[in-house]
């Protein structure tokens, strides 16, 4: 957490999604920011600070929310920060071009009694639409200063800072807090609740009697859990029943309607239309962008551009990073005498450098992905994408935005899981990140490229690849539906699909967003991945060759050195001996022994210990599977998907049915360690990471066994 020197003013920045809150946060704090998570949840916590006159001001950028009703983790985090941690000032960033919808949050913030400043952001757009605001009247209605701002132009920042400091230094009397009149019947029940709550002085001191009473009548489960009094609960049931009996609606419905009535009255008094409000440019663009026929093709085209930017443009820097770590490994390896091997050398080069490289190699993808997503979000298009896909995704119980991470998953699961941060609902976020690995990522392509040409006619190459991809999609859809119907079942969180006006993203905001995600990935996921890399190195290294085996291989190499005169032939024979030695070492390693021990489990899928050992090594990264097969079949660890020697060995040992099952298992089974590490990071829990690891592995075994055994019964591929 940022700890500025000296006294400080803590300011909470609240606001609806797409209100320009992040832009103002960036304007006020610049690069002096820190990103983390709130304890116990995956909701992002952003802090920044600045100096203003003689004051140190700490800004906490609360999650974007439409209300403080605490349906979602974001709403609960925002509300708890305001009512529990009591910041010195709460600044509500309001999209003034969509005023009535945004003021609903302002009314709820007003009711908490927190020192409030209202920032009417995007005031230039409101003026373009023909709206003029009487800021003095709004200030009286909400008992809070109101400041006009234009975030992307940096306008109004100085005045906003002045009002923040003034609000912090001149605390208002809690008795001056305006309140919404909820009507005679409901107000009577509020008075009854206040009377009963007098027996809870600690709660009253912390939250205030009226706010607690209103939240209880709203049936706020989080607040209800804080009140131990049975008398309060009994009265609450009576009050709710009485209100519904008299007015025909629940108290929470009446409370919401009354708040909107307060807002409507305020707007009638303080908002004036200077010109006839016509369709804006955003409306005209939406007639094309959200069109039933054109919407999906446009969306897919933009997603293709995101893919191109993320994976095509990211490929050269990934190659540079791989080359750098290869160069680093070679140079460090050169510190040992030629031909010598040692555990320390292997640990540093294969374990640590390989592990760190495995983390950093994804960084170009991460940065480019979030650069593209930030542009789409800040421009207003991402809300349209969710709107377009919502109907389709709703059929499997997910939000329209879930389609974006799933699509990105075809490139790489790591940035796809990080992209689930765009989902407001934790339930949707968890389901999406759990099924994303079923989208066949680019790391699996070397496996398909090795096996398909080796076992299937050329005319079948494209159809087989298509079948594998379709199987992954169908399993992802089925899994999401099952998860939403079982583990993650429950009432859907209300979500309003806002379509904000299109805007030109600011370069500063986009770059800040991109770098924060990239640094978070390196700092958090990297440590876990490095640890797993070292563990996998140990599994494939120890206990190593027995002394007599090592001596025998060394004698064979010496014999070749002394008897073979042709240098090219000598190199080939020594390479063959070293490949055989590496195979023997892997066979006797912990991973090899685990592979042997797992043979009874592997046999129903048509696999042997060699495939099992390669799968263990492939947990580091799926593409490592090919290199591991090269080792166990003594064709060298440098073997790749185009290795004819390895294809010959596979054809000699497996049937086309078994080969298809290998691809199927690699598609469905536990993803690479980077994916597991990022799932743990994004879910903030090892529970879900291990559930993903175990669940996908079990699913892969069941699906592969069914396919292999059914194929055998039908006489396919034998």
Residue-wise pLDDT for 286-313, tens only, equals: 888 878 788 888 887 887 777 677 767 8
DSSP state letter for 312? I
* Percentage, residues of the chain above pLDDT 90: 23
Rounded CA separation 661/682 (Å) = 31
Average pLDDT over residues 59-63: 92
In which order are the strands placed within the sheet that holds 89-95? 33-37, 44-52, 55-61, 8-15, 89-95, 116-121, 146-148
From the list 92, 156, 102, the residue with the least C-alpha distance to 124 is 156
pLDDT tier at 3 (50, 70, 90 boundaries)? very low
Around Cβ 277, how many Cβ atoms within 10 Å?
10
Structure tokens at 7: 């006294």
Q: 555 versus 620: which is more confidently predicted?
A: 555
Rounded CA separation 28/157 (Å) = 7
Q: What is the pLDDT of residue 561?
A: 80
Q: 621 versus 479: which is more confidently predicted?
A: 479
Q: 188 versus 625: which is more confidently predicted?
A: 188
Task: Look at residue 67 and tell me whether its pLDDT is greater than 90.
Answer: no
Q: What is the pLDDT of residue 276?
A: 46
Task: Give backbone dihedrals phi and psi of 30, rounded to 5 degrees, phi first.
Answer: 60, -135
Average pLDDT over residues 14-24: 89
Specify the residue for token string 């399993």: 475
- Look up the CATH number of domain 8-176: 3.40.50.300
Task: Look at residue 42 and tell me whether its pLDDT is greater than 60.
Answer: no
For the segment 677-689, what is each residue's pLDDT rounded down to a tens digit?
889 988 888 999 9
User: 523 by DSSP, 3-state: which?
Assistant: helix
Q: What is the pLDDT of residue 156?
A: 94
List the alpha helices (DSSP H) in 564-672.
567-588, 590-597, 599-602, 609-617, 624-632, 644-653, 656-668
DSSP state letter for 150? B
Q: What is the pLDDT of residue 87?
A: 94
Rounded CA separation 689/647 (Å) = 34
Average pLDDT over the chain, rounded to whole?
A: 81
Q: What is the pLDDT of residue 172?
A: 67
Q: What is the pLDDT of residue 307?
A: 65
Rounded CA separation 618/469 (Å) = 20
Give the DSSP letter string of 445-484. Answer: HHHHHHHHHHHS-GGGHHHHHHHHHHHHHHHHHHHHHHHH
pTM confidence score: 0.58
Q: What is the pLDDT of residue 660?
A: 94
Contact indicator for 182, 258 with CB cutoff of 8 Å? yes
Contact indicator for 33, 27 with CB cutoff of 8 Å? no
Rounded CA separation 11/13 (Å) = 6
Rounded CA separation 628/634 (Å) = 10
Contact indicator for 94, 103 with CB cutoff of 8 Å? yes
Q: What is the pLDDT of residue 79?
A: 86
Q: What is the pLDDT of residue 469?
A: 83
From 86-95, 189-198, 686-695, the region with the lowest mean pLDDT: 189-198
Rounded CA separation 192/213 (Å) = 9
Q: 383 versus 133: which is more confidently predicted?
A: 133
Q: What is the pLDDT of residue 246?
A: 81
pLDDT tier at 4 (50, 70, 90 boundaries)? very low
From the list 592, 628, 618, 620, the residue with the least C-alpha distance to 532 is 620
Contact indicator for 88, 11 with CB cutoff of 8 Å? yes
Task: Give backbone dihedrals phi and psi of 133, rounded to 5 degrees, phi first.
Answer: -115, 140
Region for 122 from its dihedrals, namely left if φ exceeds 0, alpha if ψ lies in -120 to 50, beta otherwise? left
Q: 397 versus 193: which is more confidently predicted?
A: 193
74: CB partners within 8 A, 6+ apart: 43, 63, 64, 65, 424
CA angle (676, 677, 681) in 5-degree steps: 115
Give the DSSP letter string of 5-72. Answer: SS-EEEEEEEE-TTSSHHHHHHHHHTT-EEEEE-TTS--EEEEEEEEETTEEEEEEEPPP-S-SS-SS
Q: Of 366-370, 467-471, 516-520, 526-530, which has the strongest mean pLDDT?
A: 467-471
Specify the residue for token string 């923040």: 164
Q: 373 versus 90: which is more confidently predicted?
A: 90
User: 599 by DSSP, 3-state: which?
Assistant: helix
Contact indicator for 90, 78 with CB cutoff of 8 Å? no
Structure tokens at 129: 């639409």
Q: Of 155-169, 204-218, 385-399, which has the strongest mean pLDDT?
A: 155-169
For the segment 628-641, what is each residue's pLDDT rounded down to a tens digit?
676 566 554 554 45
Q: What is the pLDDT of residue 491?
A: 56
Q: What is the pLDDT of residue 190?
A: 92
pLDDT tier at 314 (50, 70, 90 boundaries)? confident
How far CA 421 is from CA of 105, 374, 404, 417, 529, in Å, comes to: 22, 12, 11, 8, 20
Contact indicator for 274, 132 with CB cutoff of 8 Å? yes
Q: What is the pLDDT of residue 249?
A: 83
Task: Look at residue 496 and tell me whether its pLDDT is greater than 50.
Answer: no
Q: What is the pLDDT of residue 278?
A: 43
Q: What is the pLDDT of residue 2?
A: 44
Q: What is the pLDDT of residue 538?
A: 78
For the segment 408-461, what is each residue's pLDDT rounded down to a tens digit?
787 778 888 988 887 767 888 899 999 999 988 877 877 887 888 888 888 887
For the segment 585-603, what is each residue's pLDDT rounded down to a tens digit?
767 778 778 877 888 999 9
Contact indicator for 67, 82 with CB cutoff of 8 Å? no
Q: What is the pLDDT of residue 96?
A: 92
Rounded CA separation 516/514 (Å) = 6
Average pLDDT over residues 88-102: 92
Q: Which strand (E) or helix (H) includes residue 90?
A: strand 89-95
Rounded CA separation 492/127 (Å) = 37
List the alpha helices (DSSP H) in 174-314.
184-197, 201-207, 209-217, 221-226, 230-247, 251-270, 281-289, 295-307
**What spatial distance separates the first Cα and last Cα of the chain, rounded to whole Å?**
62
From 81-95, 190-204, 305-319, 650-664, the region with the lowest mean pLDDT: 305-319
Q: Between 1.10.287.1770, 3.30.365.10, 3.90.320.10, 1.10.3720.10, what CATH number should domain 184-273 receive?
A: 1.10.287.1770
Task: Look at residue 5 and tell me whether its pLDDT is greater than 70.
Answer: no
Q: What is the pLDDT of residue 636?
A: 46
Domain parsing of the chain, residue ranges: 8-176, 184-273, 547-584
Question: Residue 279 pairs with which residues in a beta bridge?
Answer: none
Q: What is the pLDDT of residue 358?
A: 58
Average pLDDT over residues 155-165: 94
Q: 33 versus 126: which is more confidently predicted?
A: 126
For the segment 272-284, what is each residue's pLDDT rounded down to a tens digit?
876 544 445 667 7
Structure tokens at 160: 């906003």
Q: What is the pLDDT of residue 6?
A: 43
Q: Which strand (E) or helix (H) includes residue 358?
A: helix 354-360
Task: Give backbone dihedrals phi and psi of 285, rounded to 5 degrees, phi first.
Answer: -65, -40
Q: 587 versus 137: which is more confidently predicted?
A: 137
Task: Look at residue 709 and tell me whether its pLDDT is greater than 50.
Answer: yes
Rounded CA separation 47/26 (Å) = 10
From the list 69, 67, 490, the residue with the least C-alpha distance to 252 is 69
């Amino acid at each position: 957490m940022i700890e500025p020197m000296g006294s400080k003013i803590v300011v909470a920045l609240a606001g609806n999604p797409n209100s320009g809150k992040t832009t103002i946060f960036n304007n006020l704090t610049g690069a002096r920011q820190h990103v983390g998570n709130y304890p116990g949840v995956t909701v992002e916590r952003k802090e920044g600070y600045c100096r203003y006159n003689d004051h140190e001001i700490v800004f906490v950028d609360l999650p974007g929310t439409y209300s403080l009703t605490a349906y979602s983790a974001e709403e609960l985090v925002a509300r708890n920060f305001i009512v529990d941690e009591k910041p010195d000032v709460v600044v509500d960033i309001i999209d003034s071009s969509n005023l009535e919808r945004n003021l609903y949050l302002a009314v709820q913030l007003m009711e908490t009694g927190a020192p409030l400043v209202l920032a009417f952001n995007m005031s230039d757009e409101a003026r373009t639409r023909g709206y003029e605001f009487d800021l003095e009247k709004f200030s009286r209605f909400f008992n809070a200063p109101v400041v006009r701002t234009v975030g992307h132009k940096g306008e109004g920042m100085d005045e906003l800072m002045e009002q923040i400091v003034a609000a912090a230094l001149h605390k208002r009397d809690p008795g001056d807090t305006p309140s919404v009149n909820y009507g005679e019947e409901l107000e009577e029940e509020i008075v009854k609740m206040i009377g009963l709550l007098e027996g809870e002085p600690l709660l009253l001191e912390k939250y205030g009697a009226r706010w607690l009473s209103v939240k209880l009548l709203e049936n706020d489960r989080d607040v209800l859990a804080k009140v131990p009094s049975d008398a309060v609960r009994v009265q609450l049931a009576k009050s709710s029943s009485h209100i519904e009996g008299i007015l025909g609606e629940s108290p929470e419905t009446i409370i919401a309607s009354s708040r909107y009535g307060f807002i409507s009255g305020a707007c009638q008094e303080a908002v004036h239309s200077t010109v006839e409000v016509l369709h804006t440019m955003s409306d005209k663009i939406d007639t094309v962008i959200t069109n039933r026929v054109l919407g999906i093709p446009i969306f897919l085209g933009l997603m293709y551009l995101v893919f191109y930017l993320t994976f095509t443009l990211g490929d050269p820097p990934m190659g540079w990073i791989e080359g750098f770590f290869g160069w680093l490994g070679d140079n460090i390896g050169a510190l040992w005498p030629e031909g010598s091997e040692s555990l320390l050398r292997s640990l540093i080069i294969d374990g640590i450098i390989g592990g760190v490289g495995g983390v950093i190699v994804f960084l170009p993808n991460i940065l480019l992905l979030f650069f593209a997503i930030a542009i789409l979000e800040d421009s207003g298009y991402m809300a349209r994408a969710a709107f377009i896909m919502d109907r389709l995704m709703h059929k499997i119980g997910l939000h329209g935005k879930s389609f974006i991470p799933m699509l990105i998953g075809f490139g790489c699961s790591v940035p796809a899981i990080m992209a689930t941060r765009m989902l407001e609902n934790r339930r949707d976020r968890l389901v999406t990140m759990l099924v994303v690995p079923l989208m066949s990522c680019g790391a699996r392509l070397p496996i398909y490229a090795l096996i398909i040409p080796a076992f299937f006619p050329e005319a079948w190459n494209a159809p087989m690849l298509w079948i594998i991809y379709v199987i992954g999609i169908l399993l992802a859809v089925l899994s999401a539906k099952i998860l939403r119907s079982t583990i993650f079942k429950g009432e859907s969180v209300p979500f309003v699909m806002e379509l904000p006006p299109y805007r030109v993203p600011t370069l500063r905001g986009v770059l800040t967003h991109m770098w924060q995600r990239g640094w978070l990935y390196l700092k958090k996921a990297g440590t876990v991945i490095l640890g797993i890399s070292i563990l996998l190195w140990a599994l494939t290294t120890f206990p190593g060759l027995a002394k007599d085996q090592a001596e025998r291989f060394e004698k064979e190499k010496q014999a070749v050195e002394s008897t073979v005169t042709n240098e090219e032939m000598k190199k080939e024979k020594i390479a063959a001996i070293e490949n055989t030695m590496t195979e023997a070492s892997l066979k006797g390693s912990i991973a090899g022994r685990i592979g042997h021990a797992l043979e009874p489990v592997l046999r129903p899928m048509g696999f042997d210990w060699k495939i099992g050992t390669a799968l263990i090594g492939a947990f580091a990264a799926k593409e490592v599977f090919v290199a591991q097969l090269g080792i166990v079949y003594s064709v060298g660890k440098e073997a790749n998907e185009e290795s004819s020697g390895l294809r010959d060995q596979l054809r000699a040992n497996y049937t086309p049915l078994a080969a298809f099952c290998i691809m199927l298992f690699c598609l469905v089974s536990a993803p690479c360690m980077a994916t597991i590490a990022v799932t743990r990071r994004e879910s903030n829990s090892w529970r879900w990471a291990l559930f993903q690891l175990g669940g996908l592995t079990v699913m892969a075994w069941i699906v592969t066994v069914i396919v292999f055994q059914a194929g055998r019964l039908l006489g396919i591929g034998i």
